[in-house]
Structure 1
Amino acid sequence: MTPAITVTNLWKVFGPRADRVVGTPLAGLSRAELRERTGCLVAVRDVSFEVRPGEVFVVMGLSGSGKSTLVRCLTRLIEPTSGEVCLDGEPVRAMSAKRLRELRRHRVAMVFQHFGLLPHRQVLDNVAYGLEIQGVGRAERHRRAAQMLALVGLTGHEHQLPEQLSGGMQQRVGLARALATDPEVLLFDEPFSALDPLIRRDMQTEVRRLHAEVGKTLVFITHDLTEALSLGDRIAVLRDGELVQVGAPEDLVGAPADGYVADFVRDVPRADVLTLRWVTRPAADGEECDDVPLPQDTVIRDAVPRVLRSGRPVPVVDGDRRVGVVDAEQLLPALLGHRRQVPT
């Protein structure tokens, strides 16, 4: 299956003669050293990854880590210095101006932190704006905009102005506008960071629901670990423009690549993220086990009541294959937050 997005050796350098940094000894300098010697800033440094079709791929990092620059390079809102981005196998950097406009209008949509709604237009026309740019007729674009408003729970608000809506409702309008053009990929650049915590949580739930319904490929930028763990099928961690680790949430929590990632996930309740594959052990010869197995992708906290009720080791399976057993002795360290080695 062709990846929805492929990023290969991507660099973005800002500053004078930025194109002379990549491929020279200057590329090996730290951010501070390079800025001191050349006046250039490396925002994205030799980043490579793939995003699978239908996946929620989260890019996470602290402020200044390069994550927003990276997501803008995907559609050349910021022009990469070096490297390649492909959408469904098509090189973005080779696209003509016309092809690039088609990409941004039809195939990829963005949802930003600042909603970017047109204040003088009613909600329905804000949602229909992308369709208007595409040349869709008024009746058809209003019909599709109304469908998207229903999808995000805003039926009845079609004729209000953005200023009459709460922040969470405005962000729903932005989400409906992005969905209205039926893009292949949705790019979210910290869309909820300006919202109150409760509204932010509601919007995260909304994104998960919408993803389950429409199945789009999502790239989601955030500095919030809880948000990343909640939304991401996989998470990429950036530090100073470099890719530190890519993996499922449980991979980051269970086997952080270095101290930087370990600090990020230090306070995460491990039993809420890790699955039984992290604590399964081989069954002993002649060991009497429970009759009903648990799938290895069961989250540890969800498995605790069943294991404690059983009083015997519970088989753990991967499909039809038995991979081991688990009992209370294996679950307790995870519940207490103790670390284990990566499972093999």
Structure 2
Amino acid sequence: MSPPAQPVIKCESVYKIFGDNAEKILEQSGGKVETAPLLDAGCVIGVNNASFEVHKGEILVIMGLSGSGKSTLLRCIARLIDTTAGNIFIDGEDLLAMNDKELIDIRRNKMGMVFQSFALLPHKTVLENIALPLQVKGMSTSDSMDRAMEMVNLVELTGRENDFPRQLSGGQQQRVGIARSLAVEPDLWFLDEPFSALDPLIRREMQDEFLRLQSVLNKTILFVTHDFDEAIRLADRIAIMKEGVIEQIDTPANIILNPATDYVARFTRGVPRERVLSCQSIMGTYDAAAEMSDITVSEDAIIETVAKPVLTEENPVAVMDADGEIVGVLNSNIIIDVMFGEANSRPVNN
């Protein structure tokens, strides 16, 4: 059996505490962070004991309400701000031990960042904005423009490469920001509420674009949002934060069906489970002796896409894996339970 792959990101007991007395109190505590003394001293805890791993090609969405610490955590991992305590490793390298030169190198060559603000230079064209980070790295103008044009095509802005930002819609401007961050071919992609300034229709289109790009590029991604609908649509796993604490980190299906805390349960209570859960996550056990329906469904299909045909069938509907093997069944009782039953009434199948 091969050993598990090394995580791209590994956080060990990461804390970020804001306040003049934070370091002193931490030293006096012998490295053990206690919340109460820090609050009494007027400190603000941005991240409180965050430990998790992110593996290659995974999309981890960090979400929570305003002030929950989600953006602070992302900035700690990008080392845009310094942590107060803990360890952060990128591909096994100690991020917090890196000097300025090493940090600049890893940001230029391994990390891509997209923020809510498009931050495009208004006097430069789309192509010039995208080429800028490549030229900062020392790439020639000709090569950087060629690479920038590849990114223009990737984000489907072909024909707008010579436009200025003022000539683009909000969604198009955000595509330029995404293209610029991808131009350096980062292994690790940080996105901090990149679509929150867009109207709902354009936001949905940008989510589609994001998923399309990920299917092509297979980046390792940290994506920050306060929108749970966005999180469940994009994430492989979701980390829900409250007051700096990661309340739960799990797949969307497990968070919906098995909330770890009352806060997570309240946070997810209004989410239509049929939009989140796959057939695999709620299917029943297959009985080879049972009479089956003529229709079948994929184990990866989302419940809302198969609910109607399953509900019209008298016999169980087979759930098929990628190899065409039956791995479980759905029936009307299971569908009704998911759509109208208690949020925590059915365990997730492993």
TM-score by length of 1: 0.92
Deviation string 1:25-69 (CA, Å, 9 cap, x unpaired) is: 983335xx733x212111001101111111111000110011111
Q: Is the counterpart of residue 67 in structure 1 residue 70 in structure 2?
A: yes
Pick from 265, 271, 278: which aligns with 1:262? 265
Gaps of 5+ in 1: none
> How many Å separate the matches in 2 of 1:332 and 1:162?
49
> How many Å separate the matches in 1 of 2:138 and 2:231?
36
> How many Å separate the matches in 2 of 1:170 and 1:190?
15
Aligned partner of 2:347 in structure 1 is 342
Pick from 2, 15, 25: which aligns with 2:6? 2
Question: How much has 1:294 moved relative to structure 2?
Answer: 4.1
Partner amino acid, structure 1, of 2:38: L
> How many Å separate the matches in 2 of 1:283 and 1:194?
47
* Contact 2:254–2:348 under 8 Å retained in 1: no
> How many Å separate the matches in 1 of 2:66 and 2:261?
19
Aligned residue for 2:346, secondary structure, equals coil
> How many Å separate the matches in 1 of 2:233 and 2:285?
31
**206-215 vs 320-329, which moves further:** 320-329
Question: How much has 1:253 moved relative to structure 2?
Answer: 1.2
**282-291 vs 131-140, which moves further:** 282-291
Pick from 187, 194, 198: which aligns with 1:195? 198
* Contact 1:290–1:314 under 8 Å retained in 2: yes
> How many Å separate the matches in 1 of 2:286 and 2:129?
60
> How many Å separate the matches in 2 of 1:163 and 1:285?
63
Q: Is the counterpart of residue 172 in structure 1 residue 175 in structure 2?
A: yes
> How many Å separate the matches in 2 of 1:147 and 1:316?
41
> How many Å separate the matches in 1 of 2:348 and 2:71?
33
Question: How much has 1:310 moved relative to structure 2?
Answer: 4.0
* Contact 1:301–1:335 under 8 Å retained in 2: no
> How many Å separate the matches in 1 of 2:306 and 2:202?
30
Pick from 225, 231, 248: which aligns with 2:251? 248
Question: How much has 1:323 moved relative to structure 2?
Answer: 5.0
Aligned partner of 1:280 in structure 2 is 283
Q: How does 1:1-344 map to 2 (within 5 A)?
A: 1-22=5-26, 24=29, 27-30=33-36, 34-35=38-39, 37-282=40-285, 286-290=289-293, 294-316=297-319, 323-339=327-343, 340-343=345-348
> How many Å separate the matches in 2 of 1:160 and 1:315?
52
> How many Å separate the matches in 2 of 1:217 and 1:78?
21
* Contact 1:5–1:50 under 8 Å retained in 2: yes
The alignment's C-alpha RMSD in Å is 2.2
**251-260 vs 301-310, which moves further:** 301-310
**180-189 vs 315-324, which moves further:** 315-324
Alpha carbons of 1:156 and 1:90: their partners in 2 closer, same or farther (altered >3 Å)? same
Question: How much has 1:291 moved relative to structure 2?
Answer: 6.4
* Contact 1:269–1:337 under 8 Å retained in 2: no
Deviation string 1:285-332 (CA, Å, 9 cap, x unpaired) is: 953334665444432223324434542123445667755433111211
Aligned residue for 2:159, secondary structure, equals coil
TM-score by length of 2: 0.90
> How many Å separate the matches in 2 of 1:136 and 1:234?
36
* Contact 1:275–1:300 under 8 Å retained in 2: yes
Aligned length: 341
Alpha carbons of 1:91 and 1:307: their partners in 2 closer, same or farther (altered >3 Å)? same
> How many Å separate the matches in 2 of 1:297 and 1:165?
37
* Contact 2:195–2:203 under 8 Å retained in 1: yes
Partner amino acid, structure 1, of 2:19: G
Deviation string 1:103-139 (CA, Å, 9 cap, x unpaired) is: 1111001101011111222211110111011000000
